[in-house]
Structure 1
Amino acid sequence: MWKVLVVLVIVVAGLSLAQTPQVQLVYWSRTGSGALGEGLTQLVAEFEAQNPDIDIELVIRRNRDHFAAVDAAAAAEAAGAGRQLPTIWEAFPNNTATYIELGLIRPIDDLLDLTPLDLADFYPVIFANDNFNGRLYSVPVSKSVQVMYYNADLFREAGLALPTTLDALVSTARALTLSDGDGDGLPDRYGYGLRPTTSDFAYYLFTLGGQFMDDQGNFVFNNATGVRALEFMINLVQEGIAFNGGTNFLDGPFGQQRFAFMVDTSASRSFVEQSATFALGITTLPGAREGDIGIADIQGTSLVLNKNATEAEAEAAARFMRFWVSPEAAGFWTQISNYLPARVSTQLDGDFANYLRENSNNTAIFRQVDHAAFEPQISTWSTIRFDCIERAIQRAFEGLQTPQEALDQAAAEAALVAAGTGSCSG
């Protein structure tokens, strides 16, 4: 279907030049230019071809510009400027929580009218990540999950099996580390690569059985499990078997063979593939125990609906959302973006099923998605994750505080930020 998309759109457009679409939707996206922007444009064109009574004005911006535009439009509306926000736009869960608090968006479960069979077809973790206060407020657009990338050539040359536990991760990193042969004081090659970021920390925290918040809304990432997770990361670097990438992306040094394997998001795949000059492998995350798959941090944006949309616009938006999560559309989008589809049945779609059979790397995200968790869905989370937690992780890495001290400070600050009574000290 997608190979004949351009011809189909041209034919439909030619047949309907004299027709005026009954409903116009404005869609703001953060996909940016390049392959993702082009792919999204194709998807919108295909939807319009199938639904000639709906016209979508697609506005594509870079991530920062997108959220700046949304914030400006929301502020203008609050100041009495009338409707400024688009009909639908992309949002992270913390943004969605903010928009709910401000009364900017509406729930969509009643519009989508999902049957029990539909609901059973959604990946539970993805569906839960779009639910707030028991209501569905969004559908996934750019959800990614962490996986393990590895230099298959180095593993083959060393005769090593892939690590399937955290203990094996350590021993494998040791085995693949090359000692300092050039006298620069650093290993010629590290076994593993990581970053002192909240996303990396989340993998170890979740895998060891921890969480950021408990069911009562208390921040608990500073408990014994959280401290153990942070100590695990720091010990890898201190032993000299893990490359510390700071806050920079890891695809570059991985491609330069500065280390042999790493954990990164499925959305990073295209960048990793461009950097790799060796046989690249992708697999699931090492777990806490043998037989367990590690728990990945799932992140990304979803599509939300303006509360002030007319009923006609809301129904048209619902049709687009149902189209978006259909196996055909989701399969096309996953192939070009490496983002997760919402439905399990996407794997059964003809074209996408062929894609999965082409390479075992293509199936890694589907084996991982059933072993994933997400970060708190609260409006203040962006500030907490970057300014409280990530800075605490970095202080611990730099030896300025012990892991316990750093996480205790971050948890105390997070509680103040969430309550609106304080900030992160950095």
Structure 2
Amino acid sequence: MWTKKMALLLATAVLAMTATACGNDNSNGKAASESGSTASPAASSATPAKEKTKVKFWYLWGGVEGENVEKLIAEFNASQDLYVVEGLSVPDVQKVVVGISSGDGPDVTDNFSNNTASYATKGMLEPLDDYIAKSGFDTSDFVPAALEGGKYDGKQYALPINVNFNLLFYNKKMFADAGITEVPKTSDELLAAAKKLTKVNADKSLEVLGFPDFPFVYYTTGMSMAFGGSFISEDGKTLTPDNAGTIEAIKTIQDYRNEFGVDNILKFNSSAKYLDATDPFILGKQAIRIDGPWFGNTVKNVLQKDIDYGVAPLPGPAGHPELAGGGEVSSSTFFIPSNAKNKDGAWAFLSWLMAKENMIKFNDMFANLPARTSAYDDPSLQDIPDFQTFAEAAKNPNLKSFPAFEGQSEYNKIINDEFELAAGGKQSAEDAVKHMKEKSANLLK
């Protein structure tokens, strides 16, 4: 539903977020485990059956993933006698928005956490706080940053079904051949290792990309946060794109690109294809990769490639071990439109889907990381590639979500645009963050 966001290179971001949002089908061949329902018990055979009220559920998934969603819908419908959920695949966010705006949209639907604030300020979302309180719905084991992504102005408008963030994937053989025995833990170590791992042809073109420059989209905010940066002040009153983490992220990629040539790297990236058989990491043409929890499942279960790789936290800022394990969290979220015709039914389905047992089923089908940490030891999830590595990393308090406010999409675009100019050699890191600050000055109202 995958999270999981950017206008710059949005197509690539959507791969990550759609892989994040939609995920890759977990081709493990396991049937979903049975789960109890919190809905009302079925009426006795002596009582005439009561007609169920309809709940319209529009979802962004299609294909096999959509079929998995329909399995869960059928299970919910069979679990209680009050509501019947009717699912509809609408894999176009804008069509969902239009449907809601027209008053003829769904009772419950899904989206990405980075849209919560924008939708809430437009009055599109129903606050969930009263539903949560009245039903005693427990959110205590949700990943804090993921839960925060569904909030705006102190209210909970959406709930996360999964957690999307990135870790460092590295080719073990390439590391061994280069004599690198330790995975980079800081930005300095990352740059040094990347230079050793890079291989250049006689014409200066790249044979092996040593730096995780592809896909580039993960740098703008995720790497900045991993390097200790934050894009808003602690009191939530000031936007802070000119943070030290962003400057360090820009300078790190500039240093690498200057070493091997901006044009050479851009040419390499332009010919690379993300998550298919010609992906440079899969071909052995990339030594280090930044990617999400869907990456290993795609490599091993979808493309069925046997690659000896390791997974580690993103490098942090040198001299600050207390900031290790940071990065950016996004989520696939579910919400109830403010003009939904069956809000009680929508909450019944939404809360059922967000219950621990059903969240496990959902993420097992999609090979994603659940938003509840209490689900991480469940046996059914353990054969998802790299699952435990991501599960442990998700508990790190240094993970952050992008600031949620009305102008967050524009803010993100400003950051992306200026970062890209700097990475392309068009401006310094200092000028980039200065321009980010100037252009976003009036966004936070």
Q: TM-score range by the shorter chain?
A: 0.7 to 0.9
Q: For the residues of structure 2 that align with 1:227 and 1:141, how far apart are their CA atoms?
A: 33
| Structure 1 residues 158 and 45: alpha-carbon distance in aligned structure 2, compared to 1, 3 A threshold | farther
Match in the other structure for 1:210: 229
| Structure 1 residues 107 and 4: alpha-carbon distance in aligned structure 2, compared to 1, 3 A threshold | closer
- Is residue 44 of structure 2 the alignment partner of residue 23 of structure 1? no
Match in the other structure for 1:401: 427
Q: Which SS does the other structure have where 2:166 is aligned? A: strand
Which moved further from structure 2: 364-373 or 327-336? Answer: 327-336
- Counterpart pick for 2:194 among 173, 183, 187: 173
Q: Which SS does the other structure have where 2:193 is aligned? A: helix
Q: Which SS does the other structure have where 1:193 is aligned? A: coil
Q: Counterpart of 1:318 in structure 2: which amino acid?
A: W
Q: 2:111 touches 2:332 (CA, 8 Å); kept in 1? A: yes
Q: Which SS does the other structure have where 2:284 is aligned? A: coil
Show CA shifts across 1:320-354 (max 9, x none): 222222222222222332433121211233433xx
Match in the other structure for 2:18: none
| Structure 1 residues 380 and 5: alpha-carbon distance in aligned structure 2, compared to 1, 3 A threshold | same
Q: 1:28 touches 1:90 (CA, 8 Å); kept in 2? A: yes
Q: Counterpart of 1:239 in structure 2: which amino acid?
A: E
- Is residue 183 of structure 2 the alignment partner of residue 162 of structure 1? yes
Q: 1:86 touches 1:306 (CA, 8 Å); kept in 2? A: yes
Match in the other structure for 1:361: 386
Shift of 1:305: 0.7
Q: For the residues of structure 2 that align with 1:164 and 1:368, how far apart are their CA atoms?
A: 14
Match in the other structure for 2:96: 70
| Structure 1 residues 207 and 85: alpha-carbon distance in aligned structure 2, compared to 1, 3 A threshold | same
Show CA shifts across 1:46-70 (max 9, x none): 22221243211111132xx2x2212
| Structure 1 residues 19 and 248: alpha-carbon distance in aligned structure 2, compared to 1, 3 A threshold | farther
Alignment of 1:218-367 (within 5 A): 218-240=238-260, 245=269, 250-251=274-275, 252-273=279-300, 274=302, 276-288=305-317, 289-290=320-321, 293-310=324-341, 313-352=342-381, 355=382, 358=383, 361-367=386-392
Q: 1:196 touches 1:394 (CA, 8 Å); kept in 2? A: no
- Is residue 62 of structure 2 the alignment partner of residue 32 of structure 1? yes
Shift of 1:87: 0.4
Alignment of 1:117-196 (within 5 A): 118-158=138-178, 160-178=181-199, 180=200, 182-195=201-214
Q: Which SS does the other structure have where 2:138 is aligned? A: helix
Gaps of 5+ in 1: 7-11, 77-82, 420-426
Match in the other structure for 2:78: 49
Q: Which SS does the other structure have where 1:399 is aligned? A: coil
Q: Counterpart of 1:368 in structure 2: which amino acid?
A: A
Shift of 1:23: 2.0
Gaps of 5+ in 2: 1-29, 35-41
Q: For the residues of structure 1 that align with 2:427 and 2:360, how far apart are their CA atoms?
A: 46
Show CA shifts across 1:202-224 (max 9, x none): 23321232211223432211244
Q: Counterpart of 1:222 in structure 2: which amino acid?
A: D
Q: For the residues of structure 2 that align with 1:201 and 1:359, how far apart are their CA atoms?
A: 28
Percent identity reads 21
Q: For the residues of structure 1 that align with 2:249 and 2:373, how far apart are their CA atoms?
A: 31
Shift of 1:37: 1.8
Q: 2:162 touches 2:363 (CA, 8 Å); kept in 1? A: no
Match in the other structure for 2:11: none
Which moved further from structure 2: 336-345 or 276-285? Answer: 276-285
Match in the other structure for 2:220: 201
Q: For the residues of structure 2 that align with 1:190 and 1:199, how far apart are their CA atoms?
A: 16
For CA contacts below 8 A with separation 6 or more, give which structure has more relative contact order: 2
Shift of 1:363: 0.9
Q: For the residues of structure 1 that align with 2:192 and 2:439, how far apart are their CA atoms?
A: 36
Show CA shifts across 1:237-276 (max 9, x none): 2223995536976441211222111111223444444555
| Structure 1 residues 360 and 94: alpha-carbon distance in aligned structure 2, compared to 1, 3 A threshold | closer
Q: 1:298 touches 1:374 (CA, 8 Å); kept in 2? A: yes
- Is residue 132 of structure 2 the alignment partner of residue 112 of structure 1? yes
Match in the other structure for 2:22: none
| Structure 1 residues 21 and 261: alpha-carbon distance in aligned structure 2, compared to 1, 3 A threshold | farther
Shift of 1:280: 3.4
Q: 1:94 touches 1:377 (CA, 8 Å); kept in 2? A: yes
| Structure 1 residues 203 and 135: alpha-carbon distance in aligned structure 2, compared to 1, 3 A threshold | same
Q: 1:147 touches 1:364 (CA, 8 Å); kept in 2? A: no
Q: 1:108 touches 1:136 (CA, 8 Å); kept in 2? A: yes
Show CA shifts across 1:381-406 (max 9, x none): 223323x2212111112222222222
Which moved further from structure 2: 322-331 or 148-157? Answer: 148-157
Aligned length: 391
Q: For the residues of structure 1 that align with 2:121 and 2:232, how far apart are their CA atoms?
A: 20
Q: For the residues of structure 1 that align with 2:194 and 2:365, how far apart are their CA atoms?
A: 32
Q: Counterpart of 2:52 in structure 1: which amino acid?
A: Q
Q: 1:125 touches 1:370 (CA, 8 Å); kept in 2? A: no
Q: For the residues of structure 1 that align with 2:170 and 2:81, how far apart are their CA atoms?
A: 46
Q: Which SS does the other structure have where 1:348 is aligned? A: coil
